[in-house]
Amino acid sequence: MKKTSLLLFLLLLAGFLFANGAGEDASETPAETPENQETVDDASSPGGLISTRKEALDTLASIGMTVFDEEIEAPDFTLSLLDGESRMLSDYRGKVVFLNFWATWCGPCRAEMPSMQGLYADLEDEDFVILAINQLEDPGVVREFLETEGFTFPVLMDENGQVSFQYGVRGIPTTYIIGPDGLVIAGKVGTHIYDGSIYRDLFRQLM
């Protein structure tokens, strides 16, 4: 099947965001909470073992991710790490990419990040990487946050919001799972806690 064009990607993405509620009016939030902050998904983790790709995709769907049927090639981009070194998404071809859009002020983002760190620590020597794309924040603020919390997965700085716009991000956290072939497997607007061996098994089946 032919991979989708960028225009079709954006159309499919719009449908994904609508299905996940990002196009709806924001629900009432505390005064200190930005309007586009998503709430934490506190659904319990799925049980059982994952031994096939189909089971992995079914599990992603069960935790609220939209699993894409079309062959959608993730748009490439170039962003800088906190040390200034540039990275392209295509640098990680051959790996499963957990692409997460976040900010330090976002409570639900902070809630899921310890589980992301655990996932990264367990799988970093395999064909898996987490790329956490920070939205529009000062690098010093982000660096202090990461050092305080002990997060070591790669963080890319989207200082002008261009990549967030490219990926249709309207609420954070937003996460995309991208396969080793560069195709978007699934996406989710909102938080999930990725604790437990089931998620390690899940991503291994997507490698």
Res 46: pLDDT = 62
Res 48: pLDDT = 65
Q: Pick from 89, 108, 206: which is nearest to 154 by CA? A: 89
> Taking 70 as the threshold, does the pLDDT of residue 19 lie above it?
no
pLDDT tens digits for 32-80? 333 444 444 544 456 568 999 999 999 999 999 999 988 899 999 999 9
pTM summary value: 0.84
- Sorting pLDDT into bands at 50, 70 and 90, what band is 7? low
Rounded to the nearest integer, the mean pLDDT of the chain is: 85
